[in-house]
């Protein structure tokens, strides 16, 4: 009888320890999303890139990729790319 009670108490302690550990790991792994810029760049899993000329966000798949120096820049259109080239001359 006393052995059974002790077993139940041990199980309860282990259960609460498990809950505590689980909560600790869950709260640690589930970080709050950073509001603002970083969230604005993510739309339905597709990365948005900023056009440095008109500052519009364009999905990577539709952006015009240009390598300027050691940087890769993304533009919404050829016109923006040309305007950017003019402005950086």
Q: DSSP assignment, residue 40? A: H
CA angle 33, 35, 38 (to 5 degrees): 85
Binding mask 15-54 for Zn ion (x = CB under 5 A): ------------------------------------x-xx
| Cβ-proximal residues to 56 (8 Å cutoff; 6+ apart), any chain | 50, 76
Please report whether residue 80 would count as binding Zn ion according to CB under 5 A.
Answer: yes
Comparison of 28 and 86: residue with beta carbon closer to Zn ion = 86
Q: Which residues bind Zn ion (CB under 5 A)?
A: 51, 53-54, 76, 80
């Amino acid at each position: 009888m006393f052995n059974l009670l002790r077993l139940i108490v041990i199980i309860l302690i282990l259960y609460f320890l498990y809950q505590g550990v689980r909560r600790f790991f869950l709260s640690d792994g589930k970080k709050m999303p950073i509001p603002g810029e970083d969230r604005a760049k993510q739309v339905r899993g597709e990365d948005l890139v900023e056009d440095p000329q008109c500052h519009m966000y364009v999905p990577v798949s539709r952006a015009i990729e240009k390598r300027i120096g050691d940087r890769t820049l993304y533009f919404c259109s050829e016109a923006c790319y040309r305007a950017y080239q003019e402005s950086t001359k």
